[in-house]
Amino acid sequence: MEYIQLNNGIKMPSIGFGVYQIPLLMTKQCVLDALAIGYRHIDTARNYGNEREVGEALIDSGISRAEIFLTTKIYGADSYRQACQYIDEALNKLQTKYIDLMLFHWPSGNITETYRAMEDYYKAGKLKAIGLSNFFIHDFNTVISSCTIIPMVNQVEAHIFHQRKVFQKDMNQYGIKLEAWSPLACGKNNIFGNLILEKIAKSHRKSTAQVALRFLNQKGIAIIPKSIHKDRIKENWEIFDFELTNDEMKEIELLDCDCSLFSWYE
């Protein structure tokens, strides 16, 4: 297990298990499988509709709550009071006294008041870290101009085809860590059959997916892969027993298109 230290000193596992679009009836078992494999970071959201199932899995796993890093997200609320309600509902559904990382899911609603509520819950110890998701420069600056606590994380689309080189530097100026949703690009651009990845994977006796994930990991980007298949969940986890060389990293850097692969994003 490798960790990334956030700007408040909290250590976050550098890989997490995501539950976006996992069928509700499968969520609990998938989380239990991930925890049994070794994952200690679980990533959910209010909008995913499966916080309750995630909470049940964490309890049924028998693993100490202190060993698990739990991330969830809320959308922008219309008011401070509504944002507090969203956070309370997350705590209730997840059946936990605190959340390790709460992210502001998308720029929406009253950005300033939603983030202010997150800050207050952070100060109260109910949120151990707070951050953003899908916040780019304009909306990011809205938060920065009014916040009293600098976000610790910004979770965005990031993968070998959209490596976020400039954006990562922008976030680094504030000590904010980048986290990748869809780190395997949802299989787009024939990522699993990419010839460069295949060549590198063969030399390490790894899969192309593992090479793609390891690349982001070595770039200091936290990753949130997702799968409903236990063998794939395990495969995504097993990326810490090899290291890409500088030349291999440079080869993969050339795959960067510097644009989203999703027409609805950005």
Q: What residue numbers does the annotated binding site for substrate cover?
A: 105
Side by side, which strands form the sheet with 69-74? 17-18, 41-43, 69-74, 101-104, 130-133, 153-157, 177-181, 222-224
The tokens of 96 are what? 């936990």
- Single-letter amino acid code for the residue at 237: W
Q: Which among 20, 39, 48, 121 is annotated as catalytic?
A: 48
- Half-sphere exposure (CA, 13 Å, Cβ side) for 177? 28
Q: Which residues are annotated as a binding site?
A: 105
Angle between helices 246-253 and 208-218 (to 10 degrees): 100
- Look up 122 and say whether it is catalytic: no
CA-wise closest residue to 222 among 42, 49, 4? 4
The tokens of 205 are what? 């006796």
Burial of 192 (0-12, 13-18, 19+ CB in 10 A): middle
Catalytically active residues, by annotation? 48
